[in-house]
Amino acid sequence: MSIFKPDVLAGKVAVITGGGSGINLGIAKAFVAHGASVALISRTQSKLDAAAAELSPDGAHARGWAA
């Protein structure tokens, strides 16, 4: 349950460092659940690809970039 409307972040982009796993992936899930698109930044591209696929199977709301 959330106190926010499901689309409170619609049209916004969240940049999340370390978003390939752990707590930051959980944060990314919360952003997507509230309508945001997410840009995941981390060191391992394979983890980022898996996280982006999990967050948005069609690829519309999540992308990952290795830094």
Average pLDDT over residues 1-29: 92
Domain membership flag for residue 5: no
Give how far the C-alpha of residue 19 lies from the chain's centroid of Cα atoms, to the nearest Å. Answer: 7
Domain membership flag for residue 6: no
Contact indicator for 64, 19 with CB cutoff of 8 Å? yes
Mean pLDDT, the chain, rounded, equals 93
Domain membership flag for residue 32: yes
Tokens of 30: 């919360």
* pLDDT bucket at 57, cuts 50 / 70 / 90: confident
What pTM was computed for the model?
0.87
Domain membership flag for residue 8: no
Q: Provide, rounded to the nearest whole percent, the portion of the chain with pLDDT above 70.
A: 99
Domain membership flag for residue 2: no
Show the domain range for 38. Answer: 13-66
Contact indicator for 51, 21 with CB cutoff of 8 Å? yes
Average pLDDT over residues 19-40: 95
Domain membership flag for residue 49: yes
> 42-51 pLDDT, tens per residue?
999 999 999 9
